């Protein structure tokens, strides 16, 4: 049941997102659209309650309960980011807004972006680990909590890998390709853009 509910929550997230943005930009009903978007956090609340009830009912903690905690944690930290991303594309496509700003690709701006994403990953992992710890305390049986402890360890691994990725972009920043005299980016081993073999 828990896995099914996680899938339902994920589908409902995108359905509510599409409906809210459609109301805001296509139907010109910004208040109604905002109200629909505000329903998004309720999905995580429902999943949290159902998971707690399942454990309270005597269900043995396993990977499904751990997955629910991870889903709630990362949705809490990445949900707003996804809503903002989709909002920018809807605004551009249906309301004549400016093109969405793409994340930086090179240099220190890219490193800063990676650290922001790392902060979200660490936040999601931290929330998941906290929920898992609450579940462990609630169960009160170390033998039955082994799968929850494994999920906590995985959250530590996720946080560590995220930091390493951000550090790599900071220590070895990605350089923007050099541009030729006509403003085109130079590519090693490739010919300049233009007609091939003199044909047009």
pLDDT in tens, 79-92: 999 999 999 999 99
* Residue located via tokens 């409906």: 19
Q: What is the pLDDT of residue 57?
A: 83
Apex 104 CA angle, 125 and 178, nearest 5: 135
* Residue located via tokens 């890219």: 110
- pLDDT tens digit sequence for 36-81: 999 999 999 999 999 988 888 878 888 999 999 999 999 999 999 9
Q: Would you place residue 114 in the very low, low, confident or very high pLDDT band (cuts 50, 70, 90)?
A: very high
Residue 106 has pLDDT above 70, yes or no: yes
Apex 89 CA angle, 18 and 47, nearest 5: 35
pTM for this predicted structure: 0.83
Q: Token pair for residue 40?
A: 């998004």
For residue 89, count other CB atoms closer than 10 A to its CB.
13
Portion of the chain with pLDDT greater than 90, in percent: 72
Collect all residues with Cβ–Cβ distance below 8 Å to 35 and sequence separation of at least 6: 20
Residues 94-103 as b or e (16 or more Cβ within 10 Å = b):
eeeeeeeeee
Q: Token pair for residue 57?
A: 């009912």
The whole-chain average pLDDT of the chain stands at 88
Q: What is the pLDDT of residue 61?
A: 86
Domain limits of the chain? 2-176
Contact 172, 110 (CB under 8 A): no
| More confident of the two residues 145 and 127 | 127
| More confident of the two residues 161 and 193 | 161
CA distance 81 to 163: 19
- pLDDT tens digit sequence for 171-200: 999 888 877 555 555 444 444 444 444 443
């Amino acid at each position: 049941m828990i896995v099914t509910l996680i899938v339902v929550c994920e589908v409902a997230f995108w359905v509510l997102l599409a409906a809210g943005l459609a109301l805001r930009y296509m139907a010109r009903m910004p208040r109604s659209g905002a109200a629909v978007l505000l329903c998004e956090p309720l999905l995580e609340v429902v999943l949290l309650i159902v998971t707690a009830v399942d454990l309270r009912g005597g269900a043995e903690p396993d990977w499904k309960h751990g997955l629910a905690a991870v889903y709630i944690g990362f949705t809490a930290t990445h949900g707003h980011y996804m809503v903002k991303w989709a909002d920018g594309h809807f605004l551009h496509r249906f309301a004549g807004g400016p093109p969405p700003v793409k994340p930086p690709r090179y240099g220190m701006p890219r490193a800063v972006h990676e650290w922001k994403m790392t902060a979200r990953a660490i936040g999601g992992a931290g929330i998941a680990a906290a929920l898992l710890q609450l579940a462990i305390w609630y169960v009160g049986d170390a033998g039955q909590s082994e799968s929850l402890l494994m999920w906590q360890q995985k959250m530590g691994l996720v946080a560590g890998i995220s930091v390493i990725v951000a550090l790599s972009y900071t220590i070895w920043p990605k350089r923007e390709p050099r541009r030729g005299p006509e403003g085109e980016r130079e590519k090693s081993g490739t010919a300049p853009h233009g007609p091939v073999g003199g044909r047009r």
